[in-house]
């Protein structure tokens, strides 16, 4: 757009138009039964108790929610052994990541994220006026030394998804501790633990203890994944008191709705529903990896509720995506993450998982014949 064309109309500040919008996964297909396996949603939906808590809010929709989100913060604190005063809730963990960026990053500042880290980190950094800095990974896994090599006096935050989306890889507790210990205190370490509930590895830590012992560590969590409340947009973070204070000054006064709060509290209390979801994932994640790998499709080892599949080249990945979609299986293309020959698939119901395996087998037979 020329200067004459843009004259006389409001213009976004420098850098905003440099942001590439977040690209969500596909939602549907022109076919019969559809299995949406593109957004890492739980195949079981929310807890029945959470659904009932949501319904029970219908008569109170004209009343503003509790701006302090006190009851939910107390429920989270009880569940995780945290001081509710050091918990901030938001409209999904995405909102909290943006608020952290707005509070601590500005023009001339830098924020580090890994090569294939969650796309929101780059967007939030640019939105705050900062400069995103990429740290290379090793075998699609975050590398502490590579991250630390990118840290300078201008670094105000390091964003790290653990496990990472879209790769499903993770850093163990010792490596996270090493990163936290070596990071200068002027820089935040934001541990995005959106998939923590799914991880059953003994050497994994979501970062809760690091938050309690470090002045610059933040951990974010979400109710969108294992708790099945993605449509309600609900997340939380825990951080040292001064960081929570800064975020509370920026967040909207009623950024969490009453239905979201009530459903979140009920979801936390329904441990049986969560346990069932973990057991299903623990059974199907390795099975999917093995069966798909046996077809000659590369699979990145994952500890989350999804797998990253590697095809021979971008053309084969696109062909596989189209073939799967034609059969009602919606996977996630990850070109925007710099992985053009990959697709990401969420662990679904038993029916969906079996169909994924069978459809990929049919696709690969066609490729071999072709």
Domain boundaries, the chain: 14-45+272-369, 58-269
| Lateral strand order in the sheet of 155-161 | 87-90, 235-238, 217-222, 188-192, 155-161, 110-114, 131-135
- Fold classification of 58-269 is 3.40.640
CA–CA–CA angle 38, 42, 44 (5° rounding): 130
The CATH number of domain 14-45+272-369 is 3.90.1150.10: yes
Within this chain, domains 14-45+272-369 and 58-269 share the same CATH topology: no
Give the integer Cα–Cα distance in Å for 156 and 130. 9
**Per-residue model confidence as pLDDT tens digits over 72-121:** 999 999 999 999 999 999 999 999 999 999 999 999 999 999 999 999 99
Q: Rounded to whole angstroms, how far apart are CA atoms 300 and 277?
A: 22
Over the stretch 287-339, which tens digit does the pLDDT of each residue have?
999 999 999 999 999 999 999 999 999 999 999 999 999 999 999 999 999 99
Q: CA-to-CA distance for 234 and 224, rounded, in angstroms? A: 7
pLDDT of residue 8: 75
Average pLDDT over residues 8-34: 72
Express each pLDDT in 29-43 by its tens digit. Answer: 556 789 999 999 999
Q: Looking at residue 22, what is its pLDDT?
A: 66
CA dist 327 and 13 (Å) reads: 45
pLDDT per residue over 125-140, tens digit each? Answer: 999 999 999 999 999 9
**pTM passes above 0.85:** yes
Q: What is the largest CA-CA distance in the chain?
A: 63
Beta strands in the chain (DSSP E): 35-36, 87-90, 110-114, 131-135, 155-161, 188-192, 217-222, 235-238, 298-300, 306-310, 329-330, 332-333, 342-346
Q: Please give the average per-residue pLDDT across 165-184, as a whole number.
A: 98
Q: What is the pLDDT of residue 14?
A: 73
- CB-based contact 187:156 (threshold 8 Å): yes
The residues near 370 (Cβ < 8 Å, ≥ 6 apart) are none
**Section 147-169 average pLDDT:** 98
């Amino acid at each position: 757009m020329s200067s004459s064309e843009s004259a006389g109309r409001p213009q976004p500040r420098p850098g905003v138009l440099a942001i590439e919008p977040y690209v969500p996964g596909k939602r549907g297909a022109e076919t019969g039964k559809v299995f949406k396996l593109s957004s890492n949603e739980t195949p079981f939906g929310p807890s029945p108790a959470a659904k009932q808590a949501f319904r029970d809010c219908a008569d109170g929709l004209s009343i503003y929610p509790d701006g302090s989100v006190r009851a939910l913060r107390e429920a989270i604190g009880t569940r995780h052994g945290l001081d509710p005063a050091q918990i901030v809730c938001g409209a999904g963990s995405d909102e909290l990541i943006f608020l952290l960026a707005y509070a601590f990053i500005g023009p001339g500042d830098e924020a580090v994220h890994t090569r294939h880290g969650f796309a929101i980190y780059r967007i939030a950094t640019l939105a705050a006026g900062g400069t995103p800095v990429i740290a290379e990974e090793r075998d699609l896994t975050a590398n502490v030394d590579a991250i630390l090599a990118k840290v300078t006096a201008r670094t105000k935050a390091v964003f790290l998804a653990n496990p990472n989306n879209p790769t499903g890889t993770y850093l163990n507790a010792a490596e996270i501790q090493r990163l936290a210990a070596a990071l200068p205190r002027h820089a935040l370490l934001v541990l995005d633990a959106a998939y923590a509930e799914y991880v059953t590895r003994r050497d994994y830590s979501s970062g809760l203890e690091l938050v309690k012992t470090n002045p610059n560590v933040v951990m974010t969590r979400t109710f969108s994944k294992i708790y099945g409340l993605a449509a309600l947009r609900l997340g939380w973070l825990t951080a040292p008191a001064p960081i929570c204070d800064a975020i509370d000054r920026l967040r909207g006064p009623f950024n969490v709705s009453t239905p979201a709060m009530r459903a979140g509290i009920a979801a936390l209390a329904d441990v049986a529903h969560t346990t069932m979801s973990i057991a299903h994932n623990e059974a199907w994640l390795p099975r999917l990896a093995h069966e798909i790998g046996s077809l000659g499709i590369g699979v990145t080892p994952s500890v989350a509720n999804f797998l990253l599949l590697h095809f021979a080249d971008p053309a084969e990945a696109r062909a596989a995506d189209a073939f799967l979609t034609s059969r009602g299986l919606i996977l996630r293309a990850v070109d925007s993450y710099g992985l053009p020959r990959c697709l990401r698939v969420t662990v679904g119901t038993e029916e969906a998982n079996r169909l994924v395996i069978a459809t990929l087998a049919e696709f690969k037979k066609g490729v071999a014949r072709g």
